[in-house]
Structure 1
Amino acid sequence: MPLFLDLKQQPAGPVVGAVADVLRRTGAVARTTIYSTDAEITDRALQQGDLIVAESRDLTRQRLLNLALAHRCEPPPRPGTWAGFELHRELTVTEQFTLGVGASEVVADLWDPESVQCFTSAPGSRVLGFAVNTEDDYRLATKIGLDAVLVDSPRAARQWR
């Protein structure tokens, strides 16, 4: 069974080292993907050399926003990489102009068929939707082609299929 670990603990070095040791000892490296919103954790996991590490949150967000706002798949996805982001995400969009700054709060639905196609254009690349917690969200995730979802309640999600 595949395992997707979302590491949030600090400091990054000891946490990544301990997780890597457990994965190696249990033979789970090949079926485990490491993810984190913290770039230091992602960088440390990549330095291990043998861990499968999802694309950084910053890179995923940047590509999703480039797609949503400019319809450009930039930067191009790396082959064989997982990328994850919420199906719906509250964002603050800020605009700098001569006399100040403007800000707008939005609920962004950044995963759509165009973004899924971009992210999966590299061989072996896959996409994951976070916070898919209703049957409607699950149906949307399926419709747009997400490869996997993370849910708060696996028990409730079993009824959605």
Structure 2
Amino acid sequence: MIAPLQLAAIGKSITEARGVPMQAVLDCLVPESAVCVGADLFEEIWRELTTWGDVSFVVHTLDGFFESEGAIVPGEFGHGYFNVHGDSPVGGHFRMDRCQSIYFVDRPSFGTRTCSVQFVNRDGGVMFKIYVGYNKDHTLKADQVERFEALCGKYRAAA
């Protein structure tokens, strides 16, 4: 499962070369490749993601990438964070008050289709990304692709 890392590396190299936040790169994608919605839909989208099964959860900074495979579990707001704990390696505490928008990104990376939900902060940086999972043969999980496409269609139609 190298595709999420490769896609992130491409975006990061553009942002570094141009001195722009990742949101600027996402905003340049064609409408068929990216759908942007407001952060006010976070809880609705998160609830949907808890039904997908194992996905790839990615956080990256200038200094490296962290990838984890597991199910998205329900969370709750408290003490200024959205707190995620459960029977999954995906967990933590997110400052969702800093989230400005959520992008559904469907694009190729090194010849492989990738589908991700990217949470962008008010500075234009990506807080974290959730990628449709891969099967053992490195193909995308068909049921998750269907769910991803349905969400994209729903929000694209509402825009």
Shorter-chain TM-score tier: under 0.3
Q: Considering fraction of residues, name the structure with more helix.
A: 1
Q: Considering fraction of residues, name the structure with more strand.
A: 2
Q: TM-score, length-normalised on structure 1?
A: 0.26
Return the structure number with greater relative CO, CA threshold 8 A, min gap 6.
2
Q: TM-score, length-normalised on structure 2?
A: 0.27
Q: Which has the larger radius of gyration?
A: 1
